[in-house]
Amino acid sequence: MYKTYYLFVDEQTNDSIFTIFEKLRKLQTNFLQFSGVKEFDILPKAIVIETAYKDAHMKRDIKYILKQIGYNGKSELMTPLVKEVCIM
């Protein structure tokens, strides 16, 4: 079963979130897929990740992959609180 994560990166670095996303897409595997960049109303943009990995393993791998692509800024990996909003 795949789980969704949001990767927030520091936009104060030289690379934009779209540049970081394109670099990450080149390194994706069957169990770790970078789906796109999501824009939120009150949060900064985030890279959407679909994966079968568990939380601890996922965080370690993402830090390693970010170093591989040359990104050394701040990052935060989070899971969404809800999958969809139902308005009645």
Secondary structure class of 6 (helix, strand, coil): strand
pLDDT in tens, 15-61: 789 999 999 999 888 788 999 999 988 888 999 999 888 777 888 88
**The whole model's pTM is what?**
0.84
CA distance to 16, 21, 28, 29, 78, per residue, from 46 (Å)? 11, 9, 17, 19, 10
Phi, psi of 49 (to 5 degrees): -120, 130
Report all structural domains of the chain as residue ranges with CATH numbers, in order of start: 3-78 (3.30.70)
Tokens of 34: 């970078």
Cβ–Cβ under 8 Å, residues 47 and 24: yes
| pLDDT band with cut points at 50, 70 and 90 for residue 82 | low
